[in-house]
Structure 1
Amino acid sequence: MLYPHSSWVTRWASQLFLLLVLGWAPLLSSCSDSKEKQVVTPDPTIKVASTANLGSFLTDKDGNTLYYFSRDTDGKNVCTGGCAAVWPLFYEANIQVSGDLQASDFSTQMTADGKPQTLYKGWPLYYYAPLVNGQNVREATGQTSGDGVGNVWYVVNPSYSIMVATKSIVDKSTNQSANKNFLIDAKGRTLYTFLKDDRNPTTLATNCTGDCATVWPPFYTTGRNLPSALKGSDFSTITRTTTVSGPYGDGTTTNQQLTYKGKPLYYYTADNQTRGQVEGNGLVSEGDKWLVATP
């Protein structure tokens, strides 16, 4: 038995169903498309390679080794003239990284002659192009023959805990300047040694405490990633104990101060934690002389 208007109801229901299907179709299609679309990750333009003797180091996108120049201590490219022919600058406009690298560690700086150059943690980056049959030819992909050249060129390990810097510095006790290689931390901050530690080696951890340690803070690090000019066996640590006072009572903390050839390493507060700053070399303070740590 048919009810009144049943054919009209049937047609209305069919049209409603069709509208619903058509209305959802774009959404369903969109969902399907979104599942099929994949996020495309750009290929890195800076990579990390490694070898057994050098550890990890930076390369360009094609695997060509990148270097730092220890004379660029202040963050400026000082490789000019004939130097620039052997060590072409590296520039990448579109920095893409992978792994543990941070794009924020890279920046661009103009050289004195107006060319853009990529920097890593403040260090200008270079290729190596030695003379071959009278022509400067960039080393092949995967080669690291530029490391250690002149004891001033090194691969760029992103995990260096100590680096080598080179510049003319003043001896505060004589007011004489001399070009020196010296140790810096990974941020380019100068490290010093204290002659009293040489004269009293059995009391190393107590030769600079209290106010002395405020002016000459100990250098603490657990890392041992070093440029090839430095030997890991030359580094060790001493334990320093510091008394700590707090609202819940007093206590002590211990830290491991890095030593180089048995000499503890320190910062100097007047350097203001600034890369390349060397205000403490030759100073007589806290009962003895302070010198940059020279490898």
Structure 2
Amino acid sequence: MALTTACGSGDRTDAAPVANDKVQAGSGSGYGDDSGADKGQAGGDGYGYDSKGDSNRPAAQGAPARALALRQSPELGPVVTDSKGMALYRFDKDTAEPPNSACSGACATTWPPVPADDATAASGMAASSLGSVTRADGTKQLTIGGWPAYRYAKDTAPGDTKGHGVGGTWNAFAPDGKKATAGPAADVSVFDQPKLGKLLVDKEGRTVYRFNKDSAWPMRFGCNGACLDTWKPVGPADESKLAGVPEKLISTVTRPDGSKQLAVDCWPVYTFSGDKQPGDVNGQGKMGTWFAVSPEGKKITSPATG
């Protein structure tokens, strides 16, 4: 059920909106073979590789990651990918302090180590989270949060996360280097952005913003017309699909055209067309009037400290 919490002296869905059109904005054996311990089945030792080999794995599996990206998974939330959109994984039998890779030989055929050269962090990741470890063969492998990074040979298309949960020991990377967390995507949740700190995102992982030229009470909408080509109103949220944000802050408002929009602490919120992946905050501070929103419902006007 969509939230319709009241704001101010009345329910925001009943408030009369006022438009201001003057404001516009520019594997069994334990190795992942056919007998079966993939996805954590009993009997495996967690290495999760195919004992028959993966002779048909794409050549790109051993390529540099280059510019990392974050991709929103409906099941896992934001996961780290390489520049081609292929998911990166961590292995529980490795260690992060100090970094060490336990996957070699046939394991490294199914789980190709990601080279460390040319990798750069996504905007939703701390640059300091990237590093490298020297493998037994002398090559440098990328680490994220200290954990060696791998691709999975059975992922064949951008967005695949078939390796998550294999052997009960392989997991896709979350932006902070931890394991991506299985669970349904929330309509509104909290993301820890390296520059701005904790902020609110929609179900696609996109940063949400509020606009100074709107007003919370009385209800006014400053973004109309061409402004909406750049700043997209966020749709209403389901009260059962909130993560990290108090329900009392979430409501639904009615726009001048009759459409419904999510509001946080009674302020209408939007996404920015210039944000291309989870963690992007390219809309922050635009024209001195657009700001990301904190988990407390306040606008964020300065970078995180500490």
For Structure 1 versus Structure 2, the TM-score category normalised by the shorter chain is 0.3 to 0.5
- Give TM-score scaled by structure 2 length: 0.36
- Give TM-score scaled by structure 1 length: 0.37
> Over alpha carbons, which structure has the higher Rg?
1
Q: Which has the higher contact order (CA 8 A, sep 6+)?
A: 2
Of Structure 1 and Structure 2, which has the larger fraction of its residues in helix? 1
